[in-house]
Structure 1
Amino acid sequence: MTHSHFAELLDLDADVLHEYHHDLIDWIGSLTPDRPLVVDLGAGTGTGALALARRLPDARVVAVDVSEPMLEHLRNKARELGVADRIRTVQADLDESWPALGPADLVWASASLHHMADPGHALAQVRATLRPGGLLAVAELDSFPRFLPDEAGAALEERCHAVLAEIRAEAGLHMNEDWGVRLAGAGFTVEAERRFDIDLRPPLPAAAGRYAQVSFQRTRHRLEGRLDADDLAALDTITAGLLDRDDLTVQATRTVWLARRPG
């Protein structure tokens, strides 16, 4: 998948799952002190960084990502939203030595920790970045959403997701970790764990069809050579017709952990 398609997917996720993102940002924002320094790890196109900047009008936000094109996309959106003066972008590979980012009042890590080669090292760096008493918010997903309500389509999605799980495991991604245990082991005090069960039914926002289509295109690209020919052909047929369907659903699970660096 090209950078532009992946950026579009992240923006569509923020659009279609806006209620989840709004509830999460409102919750985290209510726990953040005045005039905070916020660090967004693996910021992508800026879903978290931009929402936190808007929710916390006196905050300064540092958005960190390995991809300069993603950060440029984020800077453009920040200018459009009128928050560019409070957002600083930093290009960095978080599997390497970290640049100076803190002392932060809040570190936000949404769907980023599972990508780290060594989560223990990353969490030690987060702890060093936070001020004493600072808050770490970790949001993780079990997989990308499921969209198809019919039995045959749901069965195909299930087969696709099973192979994608194998691919992630082979790549060493840390999916389905108990981040509460990880956080406690890294010296944080875990204050909350909250599961968000997302189940959107028709009628869906106008962007939902495109969200499903880009998700399926991403899946198709990753499953080339890993899924049998009949399933790949079925996936192609379904993907081609997604924009014309009015029966799509969006089902996903996100889990959020809140932890503090002891003061």
Structure 2
Amino acid sequence: MTPAHGHTPHHGGSHGHHPEHDDSGQAEILDLDAEVLAEHIASITAWLPLNSEPRQIVDLGCGTGAGTFALLERFPDAHVIAVDASAGHLQLLREKAYARGMQDRVRTVQADLDTDHWPDLGTPGLVWASASMHHMARPDRALADVHELLAPGGLFAVVELDGFPRFLPAHAPEGQPGLEERAHAATDSYHAEHVPHRGADWGPMLTAAGFTVEDERTITVNIEGNRSQAIGRYAHASLQRIRGAAAPALSPEDLVALDELLDVDSPHSILRRSDLAVRTERTVWAARRA
């Protein structure tokens, strides 16, 4: 379930375009997101209101495969076409498929989903788009393309973030409480300009594209850090990624505190904290092609 532009963390999926933003930092965040939120992703796939189990699935903006592998586990007779703009992410996905013995059930397709003509993706019974639709330059056109792609009666699952995850308690770090919120606020103007559909209500847009929205669900995530060693790495990678965009708007004191959190050798490193948690929300729209 995976995404992101090169300067901010993006969680749960990958974008469908802008291949120049492919880098190992984003792949690391996508993999950590998949590991930490595996139960939540599985709960979404189990909830989908399907009329029958799909045999053909398309994962749009698949990233490194969080959604792809959750769907393969949920639907053992299905094949997935995993689509992303990033050759690097698709290579990682293929390596995972071989490692899991699932290579015969996955086909990867490198494509820019903002182009006028999509590649042949078959006639899937389920299309999955996790944290990818808000990156589309023309989401109305992309929704129309998905509507045309789906088999009659097929389901389109749109999973979107209500916001980036938060990891630190409000009183942290010592001396600069609330730093994490200020760092995220410092990037808001950038996102408003460059990712205007982040946090959008996709229900009306899906209806306008000809879908029937059958259900909508918001999932609240609150995972205590002691449940997974990956949460510290997830928090570090996410804050490291946001630093570049946030730095110009942060006070010198905040920037020093942020760099201490990111310094793996510092006694104040975020990796040494025992009070981390993953707090976020994700909303899922299940829309059917009539």
Asked if TM exceeds 0.5, the reply is: yes
Matched, 1:160 2:179: no
Distance of 2:53 and 2:197 partners within structure 1? 34
State the Cα RMSD in Å: 1.6
Amino acid in structure 2 at the alignment position of 1:250? V
Distance of 2:42 and 2:54 partners within structure 1? 20
Q: 1:71 to 1:258 in 2, by over 3 A?
A: same
**Offset from partner CA, 1:186-212 (integer Å, 9 cap, x none):** 110000110001112242301111011
Task: Output aligned runs, 1:131-210, within 5 Å.
Answer: 131-153=151-173, 155-210=178-233
Distance of 1:157 and 1:202 partners within structure 2? 16
Q: Structure 1-normalised TM-score? A: 0.94
Distance of 1:244 and 1:111 partners within structure 2? 30
The question of whether the paired residues in 2 share the 8 Å contact of 1:117 and 1:173 is answered with no
Q: Percent identity?
A: 51
Distance of 1:207 and 1:44 partners within structure 2? 19
Q: Which 5+ residue runs of structure 1 have no aligned equivalent?
A: none
| Secondary structure of the corresponding residue to residue 259 of structure 2 | helix
Distance of 2:153 and 2:64 partners within structure 1? 28
Q: Structure 2-normalised TM-score? A: 0.86
Question: Structure 1 residue aligned with 2:105, among 86, 95, 116?
Answer: 86
Question: Structure 2 residue aligned with 1:235, among 235, 248, 258?
Answer: 258
**Offset from partner CA, 1:28-86 (integer Å, 9 cap, x none):** 3x726345110000000000111111221110100000000100000000111111101
Matched, 1:257 2:280: no
**Most deviating of 191-200 and 218-227:** 218-227
Task: Output aligned runs, 1:1-263, within 5 Å.
Answer: 3-28=23-48, 31=50, 33-34=52-53, 36-96=55-115, 97-153=117-173, 155-240=178-263, 241-262=269-290
Structure with the higher helix share, 1 or 2? 1
**Offset from partner CA, 1:2-48 (integer Å, 9 cap, x none):** 711111111101111122112112223x7263451100000000001
The question of whether the paired residues in 2 share the 8 Å contact of 1:92 and 1:99 is answered with yes
Distance of 1:215 and 1:84 partners within structure 2? 30
Distance of 1:5 and 1:32 partners within structure 2? 39
Cα deviation for residue 146 of structure 1 reads: 0.4
Q: Which 5+ residue runs of structure 2 have no aligned equivalent?
A: 1-5, 7-21, 264-268
Distance of 2:135 and 2:203 partners within structure 1? 17
| Secondary structure of the corresponding residue to residue 45 of structure 1 | coil
Amino acid in structure 1 at the alignment position of 2:149? T
Distance of 1:107 and 1:226 partners within structure 2? 39
| Secondary structure of the corresponding residue to residue 225 of structure 1 | helix
**Offset from partner CA, 1:120-177 (integer Å, 9 cap, x none):** 0000000011011100000000222101114244621111112222211111431111
Amino acid in structure 1 at the alignment position of 2:205? R
**Offset from partner CA, 1:198-239 (integer Å, 9 cap, x none):** 112242301111011001100112223233332222111122
